[in-house]
Chains A and B, each alone.
Chain A
Amino acid sequence: MKRLVSRATGFVCLALWTAGAATAGTLDTVRERGHLKCGINTGLVGFAAPDDKGVWRGFDVDFCRAVAAALFGDAGKVKYTNLTGKTRFTALRSREVDLLSRNTTWTFSRDVDLQLSFAGVNYYDGQGFMIPKNLGVKSAHELNGASVCIQTGTTTELNLADYFRTHKMTYKAVPIETASEALTNYLAGRCDVYTTDASGLAAIRAATDKPDAHMVLPEIISKEPLGPVVRQGDDQWADTVRWTLNALIAAEEFDITSANVKKLAAASNAPEIRRLLGSDELQGRAALGLAPDWAVNVIGQVGNFGEIFERNLGKDTPLGLARGLNAQWKNGGLLYAPPFR
């Protein structure tokens, strides 16, 4: 009898405690925990892939490190969870990860129906098709009846269905779960075409033995704005992530790099640089609990947006992607950070 009563009390306490924990803000939870839990891809070259020592590197990984540097002053205080297209939103919504940095497209239904918040766009992409050159196909309009490898549970799957339907073409779907499965099926000839975001195509192409034997067709059939995702209803946390991204973009706009950030923090006279780097007070910074040199830590340890791009996706990497839409607004691109004032 005693054990039953004590166990029942234990259950009630546990229920109350979990309910209570569910309403605490993510920012406070992460601060208390001392490290950031970040959801990344299972393996996509350039965005999140292990190097030969098993350390995860990539464009999305660097963004996780930037947020950790902003919160803790140490870009290494991150624990990564690899998520597939199927598990990513469940993991985020059930608090298994705090931040999802996994080349996720910002769409209406994800924002509204799935109750997520997109903290900005860090890569403007579009969906394309990759096909072996020896098939002799020059345009996506010639793809009627083709077998197409497609990742399930993504926006690319829905776009593919829409595109073929509106152009009155048919295709045979070959569903796959991960990018590595796609490569296996594509190279074995199970499918003629592989479709995903153009950056993903570049990554897959770089992973083949003969990248020049494959071509990306000229048609880009959708807009795919990729960005970091957090849970809805947690505005303080969303602000922290959003303004970390804005800091990376603004730093490139003001020519602040990891090499000169400390010098500029000490010696710059430009008002916005002084507010960003903490030499002058930035109204609201303390409300988020950020240290005055938060941006110095971010840029010093991870670099500005341009450095992150060049390191992971730029012309010296196997992907060799051009900045294109991902250039600063002054250079004709879409990157435009709101002012730090």
Chain B
Amino acid sequence: MTDAPLQPHRISFWRDEKLRAAGLQVLVVLAFFAVITWLIGNVAANFAALDKTFGFSFLWKLPAGYDINQTLIAYTNQNTHLLAALVGLINTALVAAVGIVLATILGFAIGVLRLSNNWVVSRLAYGYVEFTRNTPVLLLILLCHGIIINTLPHPRQALEFGGSVFLSNRGFYVPAPIFEPAFWIVAVAFAAGIAATAGLYRRARRIQSKTGRRPRVFVPGFAIICALTAVAYVAAGDPVAFDRPALRGFNFHGGLTLIPEFVALTGALAIYTSGFIAENVRSGIQAVDRGQTDAARALGLPQRRTMKLVILPQAMRVIVPPLTSSYLDLMKNSSLAIAIGYMDLVATLGGITLTQTGREMEAMLLVMLIYLAISLSMAGVMNIYNARTRLVER
């Protein structure tokens, strides 16, 4: 005989797990918003008590009044604070871009060298990684800057190379190319050379999949690009003039100048970040199963081809996510520029503009929002790569 069906057991609402979890989440959200509201309210109350106003109109109403040592766009001290902030932002972007490229090249090289069979080489790489990872980045920046300005000579005794390139503790001076209108012929010829090389590459892949033999691409492609560019250059009648730097009075004028602050900052950031990238690369390579190397060697692929065609593509899946973090780190560490007098975003908007206008809250909020926007876009771009290389499972 079966029993009567059981009555549904009623339990108190705080004993029900689902209701309890939901209730706790609601409370946490409420508490979070309460804290945010209190913070904003506190700031507003303090502003009112101190008679401060909150507004961004100072950015485009007041003239900046100060000069900036490196401006990639036209800027004078009579322009607005907004333009000065833009100059700072471009300087930050320049340091970040050059630093990322340098750090990646250095990091990948050191990472691969760390796994070398040569004991001396791998120990040296290990020492480099430990040094760069364990020193504070600010010290590296100050050290690089100190080395440059104290060991390089005064402009009047500048080191010169070939009469056009000068090194002094005020900067590195190289001739600046001035492009005349006829230069477009050379640019078109260069693009045509690149397109021809891409065509050669596609043709090589087609022939390889059909016959197994791969015709050479690099040397013929390089030769085509050089030949086309040279012919166009001669045909356009030498359309590039050079503005050579010359010492007049106190400093060099003309040419392209790399100020020592830029070199020191970029160099120090690249060296610091390359240590982290090297470790990422090493861990990525070692994450690839040893069986892959064995299979590739068994098929007759030499060591370099194995690394390039089998190991590294699989290692990239492990390398790229922490690489994103290293890039973001480098970009944010560039805000230490003020320590050596490089005018990046924090030094212009978050430094001089903040001090001269007294608008700390607005300036700092804007700086943080800009850094957040840059970081999110960089991370977004890297995540596109991540999504494409993800392991697709059934």
Contacts and interface: CB of A to CB of B under 8 A. Distances in A.
Interface stretch (B47-55, B180-188, B198-206): B47-55
Chain B contact-residue range equals 35 or more
Interface in A1-32: 4, 7-8, 11, 15, 18-19, 22-23
B260 interface: yes
Nearest to A232: B51
B377 interface: no
Nearest to A86: B355
A325 interface: no
Nearest to B77: A161
A152 B347 CA distance: 9
A37 B46 CA distance: 20
A11 B39 CA distance: 10
B251 A172 contact: yes
Contact of A152 (B78, B249, B250, B351): B351
Interface string B341-374: 1010001000110111110100000000000000
Contacts of B76: 165
A82 B347 CA distance: 20
A153 B49 contact: no
- Residue with the greatest number of chain A CB neighbours at <10 A, chosen from B41, B65, B78: B65
A interface majority secondary structure: mixed
Nearest to B360: A90
A145 B27 CA distance: 64
A255 interface: no
B154 interface: yes
A188 B169 contact: yes
Contacts of B67: 160-161, 171, 173
B351 A89 contact: no
B23 to A, nearest CB: 10
A175 B65 contact: no
B248 interface: yes
Interface string B143-180: 00000011000100000000000000110000000000
B305 interface: no
A165 B51 contact: no
Nearest to A85: B355
B250 A147 contact: yes
A93 interface: yes
Contacts of B65: 157-158, 161-162
Q: Can you list the 6 inter-chain pairs with the closest CB atoms, starting with the nearest?
A: A153-B355, A22-B49, A114-B358, A161-B77, A146-B250, A175-B341
Interface of B: 27, 30-31, 34, 38, 41-42, 45-46, 49-52, 65-69, 76-78, 149-150, 154, 169-170, 248-251, 253, 260, 338-339, 341, 343, 347, 351-352, 354-358, 360
Given A22-B45, A86-B351, A152-B355, 16 more contacts: A19-B45, A22-B50, A86-B354, A89-B358, A113-B358, A115-B51, A115-B52, A152-B352, A161-B65, A162-B77, A165-B78, A172-B251, A174-B341, A175-B352, A177-B338, A177-B341
11 contacts: A18-B45, A19-B49, A113-B358, A160-B67, A162-B77, A173-B66, A173-B67, A176-B341, A177-B338, A185-B149, A189-B154
